[in-house]
Amino acid sequence: MSAADVPRGARDAEAYLRNNRELWRLWTPLKAASTQYDLAGFRVGGSRMRALERAEVGEVRGRSLLHLQCHVGIDTLSWARLGARVTGVDFAAEGVATARSLATDIDPSAVFVEADVLALPDHLDGHFDIVYTSHGVLGWLPDLRRWAEVVAHFVAPGGFVYVFESHPAAWMLDNRLDTAELRLRYSYFGEPEPLSFEYRSPTAVPDREVPGVEYAWGHSLGEIVSALASAGLTIEFLHEWPFVAWRMLPCMVEHDDYWWRLPDGLPSIPLSFSLRASKPPAPQRS
């Protein structure tokens, strides 16, 4: 198939994804070396998985877990330290290389795959008890229906997918304000063209000037839930939370539980959500 035969939207999406991959190529080594990531401290021990996620996922010891869009593998290997047999996937070679390096000291049995999650069935075989995805990754994907099909493909019968994500309502807010106020800036519903965000440097390394533009697609909560349901998964729960895993807005305050919240005096709104959806068990043979 020639480029002329590919729908324009698909060509545009691939160009945006190539741009993002190049930006992550430049930024990932800087992030991995930052004090915010503290990979040296992580090698020593401990899990960075938050208590809420551990409680909602449940016991993982001895279970297989696939982490989609795993970046440098910190969360993936945190699950490994809790007893899971882990596989991580990311489209950035630099992130996968960092994850593999960490795994040599933490869990040599961990597998990390370099692949676009939307094409993952071409690069990975098998099924997993748990498919996990979290913290600001769905916006990198232009096609949520395809994502849900990939998720359902890898969830083993009787297994489930667990999603912990920033809330689409939170992505509507103007993140340029330095004052403690809420102002809408972005559409709740995703548009065909992605949003573009210009940065002087990666947030983990604000003193290093490596400018770039990121592209991200908006997805409503209804789109996310419906995509998983259409792929044949059964929604077990959908919880909305007034906190998020990182500082989405300048006015947010980090609490002792490591969640970021809006300051006192502002209305309580959903900033993140967690969702669990399962695949029916295989039918019993008579």
Closest of 17, 263, 15, 272 to residue 136, by C-alpha? 272
- The per-residue pLDDT string of the chain (286 residues; one tens digit each, 9 = 90 and over) reads 233 333 344 458 889 999 999 998 988 988 888 888 899 999 999 889 999 999 999 999 999 999 999 999 999 999 999 999 999 999 999 999 999 999 999 999 999 999 999 999 999 999 999 999 999 999 999 999 999 999 999 999 999 999 999 999 999 999 888 888 899 999 999 887 898 888 876 676 677 777 889 999 999 999 999 999 999 999 999 999 999 999 999 999 999 999 999 999 999 999 999 999 999 998 877 6
Q: Structure pTM?
A: 0.92
- Beta bridge partners of residue 239, listed in sequence order: 274
d(CA 19, CA 12): 11
Closest of 9, 38, 25 to residue 71, by C-alpha? 25
Residue appearing with tokens 């910190």: 74
